[in-house]
């Protein structure tokens, strides 16, 4: 029978299947961070259980770490306890940890690929919804809760039910200045934040194949914002070249064996999908979000919606609530939205190509005098690479702050946060109420669009700054 890539990975990881369809799935790779793991380790201790496969587990502190000078440690007492607890747990259970001062430290979804820990055809889980990122490598990667983290630690498996197959085909070429961030925002706008619920999304089409590995990660990363737990892309030469020689990638004979297997990871041409949609890349424009859900997207040429023109009562209420929270008027132009802050970083857009894209726009330009802007590289290695290329200087000369790696203002668990009513152009993934700080207002954009907004002081069209 013809199968999809998701079907193949699923079938290849079945340890057991009950009559009711409940399956026990083997987990090849488990990423752990400080926020969603303490209660899981505590659970193991309380029941005298061990970690079954410590060497299939990799840990890093990313959510709570300061992005300023780290020699002083962590000022916030609770954050410090959480990071220290992760360190103690990793030591006790024999798990490799990249500590706060290790240059390999960074956002969990950036370091996995960077180290070659992320590999095609594997099942990868983490107590973090943006685990979907790793699907860019043709792996089945999804976020889990803390009880499930404990389950994986104890058994190296997870209790799961098979999801539906959903394919999104994007064909054609993107206009200049339009990026994979705009593609995924467009997709979420189209399917809605619950559009992918119960499904695994495979991204396909010649546009997807033409994207770099990092651009693919941005798309898979925000799959969760469309409600699907996992998004994946067929692995190809770009993926294999990216992984070759990475510290945790297969070596020698194993590399050849792995490559043979990875080359089989393809959806059969006549495989059946429960749902399928098509998008034309040449029709996608630079996007922004105006509201408090990632599905609230408009193009930079567009206008904020008017609740009066909405017939559905739920939608109308939801628009009204969002406009009130965001401090926006119905029908106002996207470009008239004045901003106070710019955040470039996160597991969505904190990789080297993202920083290059923003730096290209900012070169020899100054950011608007009323804007406060920062770049938070996704990992110590991204930071190092950017510094070697002189990107840090471009950012600093334009008026940006150049920070240490971590999740930072994507979710504002550390000291980096918006004040009430402050408005931010952000390359992160969620514009929920309070996400970047209580009362803070977030507009999701691509790195180039964030740079354009920093220069203009209002949301602006990155195409204006393309050479």
Partner 1 sequence: MKKFNSLKGIPAYLPIVNIDTDMIIPKQFLKTIKRTGLGKNLFFEMRYDNQGKEIGDFVLNQNPYNNSKILITGKNFGCGSSREHAPWALLDFGITCVISSSYADIFFSNCFKNGILPIILEEEKIKELSEYANRKEEISVDLNEEKIVYGNNEIKFQVDPFKKKCLLEGLDDIALSLKKSDKIENFESSLKNKKPWIFND
Closest CA to 74 of 87, 58, 59: 87
Among 57, 115, 118, 157, binds partner 1 (CB under 8 A): 157
Element (H, E) at 217: helix 213-221
Backbone angles phi, psi at 72, to 5 degrees: -85, 0
Sign of dihedral through CA atoms 240, 246, 248, 254? positive
For residues 224 and 352, which CB has a smaller minimum distance to partner 1 in the complex?
Answer: 224
Closest CA to 386 of 407, 400, 371: 400
Q: What is the DSSP string of 170-188?
A: EES-PPTT--HHHHHHHHH
Least distance from C-beta 160 to partner 1, angstroms?
Answer: 9
Closest CA to 383 of 368, 396, 371: 396
Given a contact cutoff of 8 angstroms between Cβ atoms, the answer to whether 275 and 194 are in contact is no
Secondary structure letter of residue 92 according to DSSP: H
Least distance from C-beta 393 to partner 1, angstroms?
Answer: 32
Binding status of residue 406 toward partner 1 by CB under 8 A: no
Binding status of residue 240 toward partner 1 by CB under 8 A: no
Least distance from C-beta 250 to partner 1, angstroms?
Answer: 4
Binding status of residue 332 toward partner 1 by CB under 8 A: no
For residues 378 and 437, which CB has a smaller minimum distance to partner 1 in the complex?
Answer: 437
Binding status of residue 28 toward partner 1 by CB under 8 A: yes
CA atoms of 293 and 224, how far apart (whole Å): 12
CA atoms of 41 and 207, how far apart (whole Å): 42
275 Ramachandran zone, left/alpha/beta (phi>0; psi -120 to 50): beta
For residues 267 and 429, which CB has a smaller minimum distance to partner 1 in the complex?
Answer: 429
**Strand, coil or helix: what is 238?**
helix
What is the contact mask toward partner 1 in residues 137 to 156, using x (rule: CB under 8 A)? ------xxxxxx-xx--xxx
Binding status of residue 300 toward partner 1 by CB under 8 A: no
Stretch that binds partner 1, among 170-178, 234-242, 381-389, 429-437 (CB under 8 A): 429-437
Least distance from C-beta 93 to partner 1, angstroms?
Answer: 15
Binding status of residue 16 toward partner 1 by CB under 8 A: yes
Secondary structure letter of residue 398 according to DSSP: H
Among 24, 277, 332, 415, binds partner 1 (CB under 8 A): 24
Among 99, 360, 432, 457, binds partner 1 (CB under 8 A): 432
Backbone angles phi, psi at 446, to 5 degrees: -80, 165
For residues 222 and 344, which CB has a smaller minimum distance to partner 1 in the complex?
Answer: 222
For residues 131 and 267, which CB has a smaller minimum distance to partner 1 in the complex?
Answer: 131
Binding status of residue 275 toward partner 1 by CB under 8 A: no
Neighbours of 82 (CB within 10 A): 21
**Alpha helices (H) along 266-364:** 313-326, 346-349, 352-362
CA atoms of 118 and 221, how far apart (whole Å): 14
**Strand, coil or helix: what is 23?**
strand
Least distance from C-beta 81 to partner 1, angstroms?
Answer: 7
CA atoms of 45 and 30, how far apart (whole Å): 19
Q: Which of residues 31-90 bind partner 1 (CB under 8 A)?
A: 35-36, 38-39, 42-43, 47, 49, 52, 55-56, 63-64, 76, 78-79, 81-82, 85
Q: Which of residues 109-128 bind partner 1 (CB under 8 A)?
A: 119, 122, 127-128
Least distance from C-beta 102 to partner 1, angstroms?
Answer: 19
For residues 37 and 215, which CB has a smaller minimum distance to partner 1 in the complex?
Answer: 37
Q: Which of residues 171-200 bind partner 1 (CB under 8 A)?
A: 193-194, 197-198
Among 20, 69, 237, 270, binds partner 1 (CB under 8 A): 20
Binding status of residue 15 toward partner 1 by CB under 8 A: yes
Among 320, 389, 422, 433, binds partner 1 (CB under 8 A): 433
Q: Which of residues 243-262 bind partner 1 (CB under 8 A)?
A: 248, 250, 254-255, 257-258, 261
Contacts of 271 (CB under 8 A, 6+ apart): 2, 3, 4, 7, 165
Binding status of residue 22 toward partner 1 by CB under 8 A: yes
Q: How many residues bind partner 1 (CB under 8 A)?
A: 77
CA 396 vs CA 110, 120, 214: distances in Å = 23, 37, 24
């Amino acid at each position: 029978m013809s199968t999809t890539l998701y079907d193949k990975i699923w079938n290849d990881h079945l340890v057991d299947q009950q009559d009711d369809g409940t399956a026990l799935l083997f987990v090849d790779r488990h990423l752990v961070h400080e926020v969603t793991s303490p209660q899981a380790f505590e659970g193991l201790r309380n029941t005298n259980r061990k970690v079954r496969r410590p060497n299939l587990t990799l840990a890093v502190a990313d959510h709570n770490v300061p992005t300023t000078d780290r020699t002083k440690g962590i000022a916030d007492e609770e954050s410090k306890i959480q990071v220290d607890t992760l360190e103690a747990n990793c030591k006790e259970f024999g798990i490799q940890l990249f500590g706060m001062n290790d240059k390999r430290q960074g956002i969990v979804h950036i370091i996995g690929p960077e180290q070659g820990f992320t590999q095609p055809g594997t099942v990868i889980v983490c107590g973090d919804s943006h685990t979907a990122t790793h699907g860019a490598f043709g792996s089945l990667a999804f976020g889990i809760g803390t009880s499930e983290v404990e389950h994986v630690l104890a058994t190296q498996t997870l209790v799961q039910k098979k999801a539906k197959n959903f394919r999104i085909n994007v064909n054609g070429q993107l206009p200049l200045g339009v990026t994979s961030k705009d593609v995924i925002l467009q997709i979420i706008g189209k399917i809605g934040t619950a559009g992918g619920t119960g499904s695994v999304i495979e991204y396909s089409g010649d546009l997807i194949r033409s994207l770099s590995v990092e651009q693919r990660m941005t798309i898979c990363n925000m799959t969760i914002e469309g409600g699907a737990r996992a998004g994946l892309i067929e692995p190809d030469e770009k993926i294999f070249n990216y992984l070759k020689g990475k510290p945790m990638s297969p070596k020698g004979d194993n590399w050849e064996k792995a490559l043979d297997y990875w080359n089989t990871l393809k959806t059969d041409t006549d495989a059946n999908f429960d749902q399928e949609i098509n998008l034309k890349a040449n029709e996608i424009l630079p996007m922004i979000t105006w509201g408090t859900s990632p599905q609230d997207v408009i193009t930079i040429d567009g206008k904020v919606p008017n609740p009066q023109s909405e017939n559905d009562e739920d939608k109308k209420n939801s628009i009204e609530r969002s406009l009130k929270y965001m401090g926006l008027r119905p029908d106002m132009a996207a470009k008239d939205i004045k901003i106070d802050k710019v955040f470039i970083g996160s597991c969505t857009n904190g990789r080297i190509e993202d920083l290059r894209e923003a730096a290209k726009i900012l070169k020899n330009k100054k950011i608007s005098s009323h804007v406060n802007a920062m770049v938070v590289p996704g990992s110590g290695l991204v930071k190092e690479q950017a510094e070697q290329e002189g990107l840090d200087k471009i950012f600093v000369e334009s008026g940006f702050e150049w920070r240490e790696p971590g999740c930072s203002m994507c979710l504002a668990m550390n000291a980096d946060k918006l004040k009430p009513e402050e408005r931010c152009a952000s390359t992160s993934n969620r514009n929920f109420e309070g996400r970047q700080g209580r009362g803070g207002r977030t507009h999701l954009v691509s790195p180039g669009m964030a740079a354009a907004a920093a220069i203009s002081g209002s949301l602006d069209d990155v195409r204006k700054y393309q050479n």
